[in-house]
Amino acid sequence: MARKKNTSIYIVALLLFLGGVGYLAYSGITENSVYFLNVAEAKAATPDRLNAARLFGTVAGAGIEKHSGAPGVTFQLEDKDNASQTILVRYTGIVPDTFKAGAEVIVEGGMRPEGHFAAKTLMTKCPSKYQKENREKNT
C-alpha cells in the first residue's frame, strides 16, 4: 500500500512540473511574438499586426534626416523587391556606422497612429566586403 501512495505523489509532482514548464513556454512565446515582414507585406497588413513587428528592406536614397540634439534618424524604408513600396521609419538611438542609403536594414518596433513606424532597434546587414576580408584571413 505504501508503494502505491509514493507512486501517486510522483505522478502528481510530474504533472505539476510539466504544467509549469508548459505555462512558462506558452507565456514566453505569446509575449515575445513579433511579425517579421518586408515593406510590401507591412503595408498590406492590418494595424494590429504592426503593433510589434520587424521590418526588413533597403534604406531609400533620399530623405535621410539625422535628428538634431538627440541620437536617431528618420528615413524611408523601401521594399527590397519593389522600391515604390516605402514606409517612413523614425528611429531613436545610436545609428550604426554602416547605416547609409542603399543599406539593407532590419527595424523592430511598431506603427504609430501618425502613420510612421517607430523603431526601437535598427540593425544593418554587414557589407559583403567584410565577409571577403575574413575569408582571405582564414585561408
Say if pTM beats, i.e. exceeds, 0.75. Answer: no
Residue 1: is its pLDDT beyond 80?
A: no
Q: What's the pLDDT at 3?
A: 59
User: How many Cα atoms are found within 13 Å in the side-chain-facing hemisphere of 26?
Assistant: 6
Residue 70: CA atoms inside 13 Å, Cβ hemisphere, count?
A: 8
- Flag whether pLDDT at 129 surpasses 60: no
CATH architecture of 34-131: Beta Barrel (2.40)
Using 50, 70 and 90 to split pLDDT, how confident is the model at 59?
very high
Strands 86-91 and 73-78, by their bridges, are: antiparallel
- What is the maximum span of the chain, computed from C-alpha positions, in angstroms? 80
Least confident of 82-91, 101-110, 112-121, 123-132: 123-132
Q: Of residues 101 and 137, which shows the higher confidence score?
A: 101
Average pLDDT over residues 63-76: 90
Question: 79-93: per-residue pLDDT in tens?
Answer: 888 888 899 999 999
In the chain, where the domains are located: 1-33, 34-131
Q: In this structure, what are the phi and psi dihedrals at residue 109, rounded to the nearest 5 degrees?
A: 170, -135
